C-alpha cells in the first residue's frame, strides 16, 4: 500500500459534551486527513529531524535535567550536545556529547493512521546550580536548534506554573494559556500538569497538538505531569507516555514515571497516580505506604503533591470519599503544604480541618491548601460547597507558585493574564500549621464567576 496518500481514517467523538462557550463544530466530530488539524505533517509523522522535544525534571533538578525527543525509525543515533551558555557563538567549541537511549513505538489507534517512531531520551547531568546552559539533540541525520536553560540555585526562590486539565481543543484553545503563562513568567523553574493532558489516551494526533501548543516552551522549561483518567482506557495506560516523557522512576514498583518524587533542597514535589488509586487496591496501598515513607524518611521544608482526582470536589454531586479517607490522614500527619488537582473542570481552593471525614467543617488550622483548576476549554458547573474560599466556573486558568524562605506565594491567572485569586502560606519555625494570608484581588465585575 502506498504511504502518505490522501486518506480519511475515521472519526472521533471528542467528548466535551457539556462544554460551554465552544461552537458545536469544535465539540462534535473530527475527521482526520493529513493536515486537517492545521498541524505540520511531521507533528503526526516523524522525520529524521528531532521533534516533540521536551525537558522533564529529574530527582535532582539542581544538577541535571531529562530530555526526550522523537524521530522516524531510520535514525539510529541519539546524541545530546551541551555547553555552558556564552554571550556569542563560541560555546560551539566547548560542547560535550551525551549518548541517549532509543525506544521504538509502532502504534495504530482506532480510526487513526499507524505511526512508527523512535523515541530518544537522555539525562543532561554534571550541571552546576545557577548556571545557564545551551543544548541541542539529534545526530548527523538531523539536529534541533540550540535551546537555552537556566539551572535553579539551592536555597533560593523556586517558582513553577501549575495547569489543570488541557484535554480538549488543545491546539486551538489551550495553546494560548500555556503561551500566556510563559510570556508572563518565562523564568519559572518548571511547569506542572495535573492530568488529562489530552482527551484520548493513545491518539497520536492529540499528543501532536499538545506538543504543538507548547512548542519551544517544552524544550526550555522542564515539566512534570501526573496521569489523569484520560491517559487511560479500561486501565490500559497511554502507550506514548513513557516513550515521549522522561520522568523519574523512583516510585512504587510498576508505577515508574507515573508515581514519583522530585527533590529540591527545600522543596519536594510528588506525583500520585490517581487512576490507579481509584481502580487498583494493590497500587492504592502501595502509593499510600510509599508516600508515608518518603515524607517520614526524606522530608523537605515544603511539599507539593499533585494527582488528578480531587480530594474535595468543585463539581456538584461528586465526592471521592475513599481517596480522601485513605490519603488525607497522610497529608495531615506530614503537614503537606499544597495539593494540586484537576478533573473537575472548574476552579476552587480552600483549607479544611484535620479530621479525615470532616468535609463540612472549615478549620484552617490544618495548614494544607487544596486546589482544583482547569486550563483547557472544557467546563463543568461548580458547586458552592463550603470548603472553597474562592471558586470560578467557565474560566481557563493557570497558576504561578513561588517558594522562598518561609513563604509560599500563589497567584491564579485567567487566560488573558488577569489575576483572579492570590494568597500566601507562611510557615512557622516551630512546626505550627501554615498561616493563610488571603490576597484575593478585586476582580473586574464583568468577569466575576462566583
Nearest to residue 342, comparing CAs of 192, 165, 161? Answer: 165
CATH topology of domain 158-447: Purple Acid Phosphatase; chain A, domain 2 (3.60.21)
**pLDDT value, residue 232:** 98
Q: How far apart are the first and last CA of the chain?
A: 57
Which residues of the chain are modeled with pLDDT < 70? Answer: 1-43, 353-366, 445-450
As a whole number of angstroms, the distance between CA 315 and CA 275 comes to 18
| pLDDT, position 231 | 98
pLDDT for residue 26: 36
The length of the chain in residues reads 450
DSSP-H helix ranges across 152-258: 175-184, 204-214, 217-220, 241-244
Q: Which three cell numbers stand for residue 224?
A: 512534570
Look up cell 502501595; give the residue: 286
pTM of the model: 0.89
pLDDT of residue 146: 98
Cell, residue 50: 528531532
Q: Is 31 exposed, middle or buried (0-12, 13-18, 19+ CB in 10 A)?
A: exposed
Q: How far apart are CA 137 and CA 355, in angstroms?
A: 50
pLDDT at 445: 53
Using alpha carbons, select from 83, 125, 117 the residue that is nearest to residue 100: 125
Amino acid at each position: 500500500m502506498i504511504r502518505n496518500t490522501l486518506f480519511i481514517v475515521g472519526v472521533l467523538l471528542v467528548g466535551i459534551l457539556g462544554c460551554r462557550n465552544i461552537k458545536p463544530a469544535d465539540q462534535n466530530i473530527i475527521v482526520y486527513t493529513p493536515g486537517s488539524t492545521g498541524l505540520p505533517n511531521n507533528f503526526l509523522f516523524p522525520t529524521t529531524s528531532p521533534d516533540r522535544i521536551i525537558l522533564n525534571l529529574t530527582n535532582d533538578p539542581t544538577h541535571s535535567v531529562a530530555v526526550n525527543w522523537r524521530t522516524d525509525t531510520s535514525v539510529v543515533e541519539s546524541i545530546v550536545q551541551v555547553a555552558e551558555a556564552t554571550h556569542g557563538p563560541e560555546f560551539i567549541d566547548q560542547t560535550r556529547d551525551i549518548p541517549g537511549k532509543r525506544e521504538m513505538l509502532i502504534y495504530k489507534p482506532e480510526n487513526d493512521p499507524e505511526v512508527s517512531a523512535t523515541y530518544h531520551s537522555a539525562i543532561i547531568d554534571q550541571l552546576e546550580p545557577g548556571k545557564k546552559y545551551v543544548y541541542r539533540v539529534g545526530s548527523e541525520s538531523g539536529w534541533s536548534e540550540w535551546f537555552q536553560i537556566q539551572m535553579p540555585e539551592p536555597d533560593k526562590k523556586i517558582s513553577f506554573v501549575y495547569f489543570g486539565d488541557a484535554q480538549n481543543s488543545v491546539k486551538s484553545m489551550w495553546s494560548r494559556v500555556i503561551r500566556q503563562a510563559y510570556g508572563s513568567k518565562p523564568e519559572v523553574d518548571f511547569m506542572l500538569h495535573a492530568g488529562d493532558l489530552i482527551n484520548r489516551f493513545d491518539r497520536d494526533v492529540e499528543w501532536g497538538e499538545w506538543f504543538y501548543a507548547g512548542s519551544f516552551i517544552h524544550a526550555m522549561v522542564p515539566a512534570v505531569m501526573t496521569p489523569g483518567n484520560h491517559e487511560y482506557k479500561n486501565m490500559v495506560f497511554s502507550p506514548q507516555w513513557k516513550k515521549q516523557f522522561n520522568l523519574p522512576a523512583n516510585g512504587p514498583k510498576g508505577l515508574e514515571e507515573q508515581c514519583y518524587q522530585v527533590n529540591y533542597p527545600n522543596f519536594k514535589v510528588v506525583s500520585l497516580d490517581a487512576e490507579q488509586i481509584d481502580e487498583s487496591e494493590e497500587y492504592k496501598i502501595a502509593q499510600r505506604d510509599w508516600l508515608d515513607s518518603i515524607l517520614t524518611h526524606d522530608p523537605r521544608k515544603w511539599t507539593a503533591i499533585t494527582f488528578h482526582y480531587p480530594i474535595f470536589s468543585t463539581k456538584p454531586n461528586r465526592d471521592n470519599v475513599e481517596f480522601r479517607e485513605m490519603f488525607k490522614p497522610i497529608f495531615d500527619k506530614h503537614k503537606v503544604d499544597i495539593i494540586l488537582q484537576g478533573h473537575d473542570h472548574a476552579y476552587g481552593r480552600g483549607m479544611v480541618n484535620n479530621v479525615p471525614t470532616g468535609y463540612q467543617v472549615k478549620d484552617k488550622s490544618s495548614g494544607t491548601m487544596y486546589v482544583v483548576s482547569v486550563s483547557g476549554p472544557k467546563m463543568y458547573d461548580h458547586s458552592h460547597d463550603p470548603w472553597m474560599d474562592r471558586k470560578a466556573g467557565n474560566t481557563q486558568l493557570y497558576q504561578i507558585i513561588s517558594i522562598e524562605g518561609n513563604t509560599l506565594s500563589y497567584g491564579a491567572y485567567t487566560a488573558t493574564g488577569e489575576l483572579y485569586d492570590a494568597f500566601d502560606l507562611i510557615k512557622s519555625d516551630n512546626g505550627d500549621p501554615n498561616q493563610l494570608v488571603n490576597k484575593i484581588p478585586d476582580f473586574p465585575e464583568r468577569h466575576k464567576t462566583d
